[in-house]
């Protein structure tokens, strides 16, 4: 159902999913109850057909946007952590002097 926007029969959906029609009906019923799929009855066709609900499309797009934003935020956090982990030249030399016996260099 994720790849289609047109209504399809249970037989068509079951065939594409490589499952029995009864199994497809069971899952389509649950998806309909959760609002991801709509049951429709085309005037020129018999039986109940199913299509993606608009909510499903909106949620998929929202998830794509969130994944993009999360990736950008993760990259920014990693960059900040890398920058923070790089030693400052003055700090590292001062630390080295504190460890060296006999060094008379004063802490800054």
The pTM (predicted TM-score) of the whole model is: 0.52
Q: Which of 96, 78, 76, 74 is nearest to 87 (CA)?
A: 96
What pLDDT is attached to residue 69?
Answer: 75
pLDDT < 70 positions in the chain? 1-4, 87-108
Domain ranges of the chain: 1-52, 53-86
Residue 26 token pair: 């069971």
What pLDDT is attached to residue 88?
Answer: 60
CATH number of 1-52: 1.10.10.10
What pLDDT is attached to residue 78?
Answer: 77
Residue carrying structure tokens 């946007």 = 65
Q: Could you report the per-residue pLDDT of 22-51, keeping only the tens digit for each?
A: 999 999 999 999 888 999 988 888 889 999
Give phi and psi for 30, each to the nearest 5.
Answer: -65, -40
Residue 9 token pair: 């029969």
């Amino acid at each position: 159902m994720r790849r289609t926007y047109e209504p399809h029969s249970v037989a068509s959906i079951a065939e594409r999913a490589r499952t029995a029609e009864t199994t497809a009906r069971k899952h389509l019923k649950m998806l309909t109850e959760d609002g991801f799929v709509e049951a429709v009855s085309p005037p020129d066709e018999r039986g109940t057909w199913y299509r993606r609900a608009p909510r499903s499309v909106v949620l998929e797009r929202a998830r794509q946007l969130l994944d993009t934003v999360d990736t950008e935020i993760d990259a920014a956090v990693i960059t900040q952590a890398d920058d923070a982990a790089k030693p400052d030249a003055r700090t590292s030399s001062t630390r080295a002097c504190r460890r060296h016996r006999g060094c008379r260099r004063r802490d800054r």
